[in-house]
Amino acid sequence: MERYETPDLRVTLYKNGTSIRDIANEKVKDEDQDEPKREDVDDPFYLYDLGDVVTKDKLWAKLLPNVEVFFAVKSNPDPVIIRLLIGLGKSFDCASKKEIKMVLDLGASADRIIFAHPYKQESHLRFAKEKGVRLMTFDTAEELQKVKRVHPKAQLVLRIRYDDSTATFKYGSKFGCRGEEVRPLLEIAKKLGLDVVGISFHVGSESSNPQIFRDAIRFTRPLFDIGTSLGFNMKLLDLGGGFPGRLYPKATFDKFADVITRALDEHFPASSGVRIIAEPGTFHTRSAGYLVANVIAKRVNKVDINERRERVSDGDEPFIWIYYLNVGVFSGLNGKLFDPEYFDLPEPLHEPLRNRDLKPSTIFGPTCDSNDVIMANCMLPELDTGEFVLFHDMGGYTATCACDFNGFSLPPTWYIAPKEIRLVLEKTFPAQ
């Protein structure tokens, strides 16, 4: 396959119509791959499709043209992804000194960053001041005192609590003030001489309810009026994250965009002068990521009759096929610890799932930890030791949350892109 290479990037370019399975199979058998380095030919690896990121960004611009993107760096701090998004004109949601430094070092300007952590380590806040990062969130009086002491010229955004009950990951127990706390907090900010410029919320990640954005936007409207009555120039609304990013989401992005557009038109029309931003993360990157792993061992256990009554229906196999992969919950699949449906079943790399008979199966990761369970009591085709499998939706909160526990190294990343975005790559990653 054709490649685009610079000192900072090596991308395999594929033709329109080429499948990810075809590309992954080429990577598995291509012995000439030397960057990034895999120690052994059966080691796992990530594939990031940069074209998918570009496609998602175009979709956002089409459906939410008046909502500025501040990409949530925590979801995928891959430097190639960050540089691509900088080239696409995006801004960034950073939660720490390290994230701020990385984004700045990769070429973003300080005015394209929101320090979107309500509770900031003082040295991190001091770093933000030194680098000119002013926009940041808060939700307590104590944080206001800290900002007054360390970064009094900050532009503050009050984070409120507005959880979606359908979201897999809810944040209200940790972040955000309640409605009745808004006026007292704004009054304290006024007394301290601080500059509050807007309101933010986060409905939660993996939301399946687009209407929650309508409700949250409507809830914030009178809060802006409170701020204005106290003399603040309330000019920014931050919609947070929670936008669907997987290949087959429960609710599609166009449904979210439609609800948000209608709510903004009603409560924050263009004539209001309020700047609208959001902090998507997995929306831009989750479906761009793939993980290729190897079956390093297998065994077949006979299921105890009492256990079988609970796990396998009458007429099914009295056995369970158990597989061990060279990746697990510590090396990128940690989402399974919080949500059993966070990832779909892996597919055999050399042929689709539908082409083989399914067996009751459990998949373990490679570590010695008994909690390293990728999939329990699922239906898979019989796999062979040494066979490769492909995971989808691996571009968000995967590698960023991984570690090398038990000595199993983190999988390296290869970048791929359709030939159609070569001009985008040349502009963002110019050859020297």
Pick from 220, 223, 209, 205: nearest CA to 259: 209
Burial 387-401 (b: 16+ CB within 10 A, else e): bbbbbbbbbbbbbeb
Give the relative orientation of helices 79-87 and 50-63 as an angle to the nearest 10 degrees. Answer: 40
Q: Where in the chain is the domain with CATH 3.20.20.10?
A: 77-280
Rounded to two decimals, the pTM is 0.92
pLDDT at 312: 44
Q: Is 401 a catalytic residue?
A: no
What is the C-alpha separation between 276 and 71, in angstroms, rounded?
14
Cβ neighbours around 132 below 10 Å, total: 12
- Helices then strands, each counted (H, E), the chain: 12, 18
> Which residues are within 8 A (CB) of 349 and not within 5 positions of it... i.e. 6 or more apart?
21, 24, 25, 28, 292, 387, 388, 389, 390
CA distances from 68 to 28, 93, 130, 278, 280 (A): 39, 12, 25, 6, 10
What is the C-alpha separation between 47 and 34, in angstroms, rounded?
15
What is the C-alpha separation between 49 and 78, in angstroms, rounded?
13
pLDDT at 306: 57
- Which secondary-structure segment (H or E) carries 361? strand 358-364
Pick from 102, 94, 104, 103: nearest CA to 125: 94
pLDDT at 214: 96
At the fourth CATH level, which superfamily is domain 77-280? Answer: Alanine racemase (3.20.20.10)
CATH architecture for residues 1-51+284-425: Beta Barrel (2.40)
Cβ neighbours around 291 below 10 Å, total: 27
Q: Where in the chain is the domain with CATH 2.40.37.10?
A: 1-51+284-425
Cis amide prior to 249 (ω within 30 degrees): no
Dihedral (Cα; 142, 147, 149, 154), 10-degree rounding: -160
pLDDT at 167: 63
pLDDT at 353: 60
What is the C-alpha separation between 243 and 425, in angstroms, rounded?
26
Amino acid letter for position 43:
D
Catalytic residue among 94, 177, 368, 378: 368
How do the pLDDT tens digits run along the chain, 432 residues long?
A: 789 999 889 999 999 889 999 999 989 986 555 556 677 889 999 999 999 999 999 999 999 999 999 999 999 999 999 999 999 999 999 999 999 999 999 999 999 999 999 999 999 999 999 999 999 999 999 999 999 999 999 999 999 998 876 666 667 667 889 999 999 999 999 999 999 999 999 987 777 789 999 999 999 999 999 999 999 999 999 999 989 999 888 889 999 999 999 999 999 999 999 999 999 999 999 999 999 999 999 999 987 655 554 444 445 568 899 999 999 999 889 887 777 778 889 999 987 666 668 899 999 999 999 999 999 889 999 999 999 999 999 999 888 888 889 998 899 999 999 999 999 999 999 987
